C-alpha cells in the first residue's frame, strides 16, 4: 500500500511517498479500514517538520474511509461502514484521562497518511451521513475541538457571545457551531477578505486583529461588556487581549499555540474579572459521537478550502503553513 512517511526529519523536504506491506486482516477487536481522506492540522505541520520525529513515522491525525473487514468481537462497526478516526482512541468518555500524545495516531503512533489501516475498532466512529471522506476527516481534530470547547465544556446557550480567533480549521468550526447554538459570533482575522467570508458563514461581528491592535478592548466595547466565551487559539501572545475581551465571569477556552507556547499573563485582571481559564485538548470518543449526531440532525458541513492528493502532502502542508486557507485543507487518496 502507498504511504507518506517522514524520511528526512528536520530538513526542508522531510516527506517521501513509499510502498509499505499490506497490514493484513483484523484480529480480535480490530477493523481494517481503507482510508480515502484526511485533513491537515496545525500540529501535523509541526510534527512533519520536527527534527525529533522518528524516520519512518506516518503523519496525519485525521483519517476517514470505509471498513473493509472486522475481526472477531467487533459489534459496533460492520463491513461497509463509513468511519472517521478518533483522536484519543483510549479516552472513551467522562473526564479527560490523557495528557500525552504517546497513544495518538499521527503523533505518538503511526497516523493516517496511508491507504489501509488495521487498528482497534475503538480508533474509529461512524461518519456523518452523506459526508465525503475528507469532510468526515475534519471531525477527528478540528471539529471535535471546537465542539468540546463550545458544547461539552462551555455549554453555550442561545444569546451567548463567543469570540473566535482567526479563520483556520478549529476557528471556522467554532463559528459554525456557535451559530448552530444560537450564539452571537465575533471573528478576528488578519485578512479583510477572510472576514468577509466569515460574515457569509454567519459571523455577526468581525475584527481585523492587524488593523485593530487593541482588539480585545474593541470586542469588550462592541459586545457591551465582554463575551461569554473566548475560543483562544493564539496562546501566550493573545491571552492578555482575550482576558480584556471576556465578560466578568466569562470563560477562556485555551486551545491554540499559534502565537507562542508561554508568556506573561495579567493574572491581576484575570482575577478581578473572575475569568475562568480552561486548557483543553481535542475531546473524547463519546463527545465526537455526540457532535456527529448533531451534524446529522442539522446538516452542518465543514468548510474545505483546498484539496490535495496524498502524493502532494508536502505541498499541502506548505499551503497550510502559508496561512492562505480558510477552514480546512484536505487530502484525498
Ligand atoms: N488544544 C487542542 O486540542 C487543539 C486542537 C486543534 C488545534 N489546536 C491548536 O489551535 C490552533 C489552530 O489550529 P488549526 O489547525 O485550526 O490551525 P490553522 O487551520 O492552521 O489556522 C491558522 C489560522 O490561525 C490564525 N492565526 C495565526 N496566527 C494568529 C495570531 N497570532 N492571532 C490570531 N489568529 C492567528 C490565522 O487566521 P487568519 O489568516 O484569519 O488571520 C491562520 O490562518 C493551533 O495552535 C493548533 O495547534 C489545538
Digitized pLDDT (tens) for each residue of the chain, 333 residues in all:
999 999 999 999 999 999 999 999 999 999 999 999 999 999 999 999 999 999 999 999 999 999 999 999 999 999 999 999 999 999 999 999 888 899 999 999 999 999 999 999 999 999 999 999 999 999 999 999 999 999 999 999 999 999 999 999 999 999 999 999 999 999 999 999 999 999 999 999 999 999 999 999 999 999 999 999 999 999 989 999 999 999 999 999 999 988 888 889 999 999 999 999 999 999 999 999 999 999 999 999 999 999 999 999 999 999 999 999 999 999 999
- Residue 118 shares a structural domain with residue 217: no
- Tell the residue nearest (CA) to atom 2 of ligand 1: 281
- Tell the residue nearest (CA) to atom 21 of ligand 1: 168
> What domain range includes position 235?
145-279
Beta strand pairing call for 184-189 and 205-208: parallel
- Residue 48 shares a structural domain with residue 83: yes
472477531: which residue's cell?
A: 72
**Selection from 168, 153, 139 nearest residue 293 by Cα:** 139
Query: Which CATH number fits the domain that encloses residue 205?
Result: 3.40.50.720
Residue 59 C-alpha to ligand 1 middle, in angstroms? Answer: 19
- Residue 195 shares a structural domain with residue 313: no
Angle at 157 between CA 153 and CA 158, to 5 degrees: 155
SS3 content of the chain, % helix, strand, coil (to 5): 30, 25, 45
Q: Which residues fall within 8 angstroms of residue 224, CB to CB, at 6 or more apart?
A: none
Residue 281 C-alpha to ligand 1 middle, in angstroms? Answer: 14
Check residue 179 and give its pLDDT.
Answer: 98
Q: Which residues fall within 8 angstroms of residue 158, CB to CB, at 6 or more apart?
A: 181, 182, 183
Distance between CA atoms of 309 and 32, rounded to whole angstroms?
A: 22
- Residue 311 DSSP class: G
User: Which of 238, 261, 279 is where one domain is finished?
Assistant: 279
CA gyration radius for the chain? Answer: 20
User: Which of 234, 263, 279 is where one domain is finished?
Assistant: 279
Check residue 260 and give its pLDDT.
Answer: 82
Pocket of ligand 1 (CB under 6 A): 41-43, 141-142, 145, 165-171, 189-191, 194, 209, 233-234, 238, 255-259, 280-282, 320, 323
The cell numbers describing 137, all together, are 476527516
- Tell the residue nearest (CA) to atom 11 of ligand 1: 256
Measure the N-to-C terminal CA separation of the chain; round to a whole number of Å: 11
Residue 311 C-alpha to ligand 1 middle, in angstroms? Answer: 25
Distance between CA atoms of 311 and 332, rounded to whole angstroms?
A: 9
User: Which of 243, 263, 279 is where one domain is finished?
Assistant: 279
Number of folded domains that form the chain? 2
- Residue 77 shares a structural domain with residue 127: yes
- Residue 273 shares a structural domain with residue 291: no
Check residue 215 and give its pLDDT.
Answer: 98
Residue-wise burial string across 133-167, b where 16 or more C-beta atoms lie within 10 A, e elsewhere = bbbbbbbbbbbbbbbbbbbbbbebeeebbbbbbbb
Name the burial class of residue 255, with classes exposed (0-12), middle (13-18) and buried (19+) by CB atoms within 10 angstroms of its CB: buried
Residue 27 C-alpha to ligand 1 middle, in angstroms? Answer: 38
- Residue 222 shares a structural domain with residue 295: no
> Dihedral, CA atoms, 231, 242, 253, 257, nearest 10 degrees?
80
- Residue 249 shares a structural domain with residue 191: yes
- Residue 220 shares a structural domain with residue 295: no
* Atom of ligand 1 minimally distant from the CA of 42: 15
- Residue 49 shares a structural domain with residue 178: no
Distance between CA atoms of 138 and 40, rounded to whole angstroms?
A: 8
* Atom of ligand 1 minimally distant from the CA of 43: 47
Query: Which CATH number fits the domain that encloses residue 10?
Result: 3.90.180.10
Q: How many Cβ atoms from other residues are within 10 Å of residue 2's Cβ?
A: 14
- Tell the residue nearest (CA) to atom 35 of ligand 1: 166
pTM: predicted TM-score of the whole model, two decimal places: 0.97
Residue 45 C-alpha to ligand 1 middle, in angstroms? Answer: 12
Check residue 149 and give its pLDDT.
Answer: 98
Residue 236 C-alpha to ligand 1 middle, in angstroms? Answer: 13
Give yes or no for a contact between 119 and 86, defined as CB atoms under 8 angstroms apart: no
- Residue 275 shares a structural domain with residue 288: no
- Residue 195 shares a structural domain with residue 221: yes
Pocket probe mutation, ligand 1, options 39, 201, 258, 304, max atoms within 8 Å of Cβ: 258
- Residue 92 shares a structural domain with residue 158: no
- Tell the residue nearest (CA) to atom 28 of ligand 1: 258
The cell numbers describing 60, all together, are 496525519
Distance between CA atoms of 273 and 256, rounded to whole angstroms?
A: 22
Amino acid at each position: 500500500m502507498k504511504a507518506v512517511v517522514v524520511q528526512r526529519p528536520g530538513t526542508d523536504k522531510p516527506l517521501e511517498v513509499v510502498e509499505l506491506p499490506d497490514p493484513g486482516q483484523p484480529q480480535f477487536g480490530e477493523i481494517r479500514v481503507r482510508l480515502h481522506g484526511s485533513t491537515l492540522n496545525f500540529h501535523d505541520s509541526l510534527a512533519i517538520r520536527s527534527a525529533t520525529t522518528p524516520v519512518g513515522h506516518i503523519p496525519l491525525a485525521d483519517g476517514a474511509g470505509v471498513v473493509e473487514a472486522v475481526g472477531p468481537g467487533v459489534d459496533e462497526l460492520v463491513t461497509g461502514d463509513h468511519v472517521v478516526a478518533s483522536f484519543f482512541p483510549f479516552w472513551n468518555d467522562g473526564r479527560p484521562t490523557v495528557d500525552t500524545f504517546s497513544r495518538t495516531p499521527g503523533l505518538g503512533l503511526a497516523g493516517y497518511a496511508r491507504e489501509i489501516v488495521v487498528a482497534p475498532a475503538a480508533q474509529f466512529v461512524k461518519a456523518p451521513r452523506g459526508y465525503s471522506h475528507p469532510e468526515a476527516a475534519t471531525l477527528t481534530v478540528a471539529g471535535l475541538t471546537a465542539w468540546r470547547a463550545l458544547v461539552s465544556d462551555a455549554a453555550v446557550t442561545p444569546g451567548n457571545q463567543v469570540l473566535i480567533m482567526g479563520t483556520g480549521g478549529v476557528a471556522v468550526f467554532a463559528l459554525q457551531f456557535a451559530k448552530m447554538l444560537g450564539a452571537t459570533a465575533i471573528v478576528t482575522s488578519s485578512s479583510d477578505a477572510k472576514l468577509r467570508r466569515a460574515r457569509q458563514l454567519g459571523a455577526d461581528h468581525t475584527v481585523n486583529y492587524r488593523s485593530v491592535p487593541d482588539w480585545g478592548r474593541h470586542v469588550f466595547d462592541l459586545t457591551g461588556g465582554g463575551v461569554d466565551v473566548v475560543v483562544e487559539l493564539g496562546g501566550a501572545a493573545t491571552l492578555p487581549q482575550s482576558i480584556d475581551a471576556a465578560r466578568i465571569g466569562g470563560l477562556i477556552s485555551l486551545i491554540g499555540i499559534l502565537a507562542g507556547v508561554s508568556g506573561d499573563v495579567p493574572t491581576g485582571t484575570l482575577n478581578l474579572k473572575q475569568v475562568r481559564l480552561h486548557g483543553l485538548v481535542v475531546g473524547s470518543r463519546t463527545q465526537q459521537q455526540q457532535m456527529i449526531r448533531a451534524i446529522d440532525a442539522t446538516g452542518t458541513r465543514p468548510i474545505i478550502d483546498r484539496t490535495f492528493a496524498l502524493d502532494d502532502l508536502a505541498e499541502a502542508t506548505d499551503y497550510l503553513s502559508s496561512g492562505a486557507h480558510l477552514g480546512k485543507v484536505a487530502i484525498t487518496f
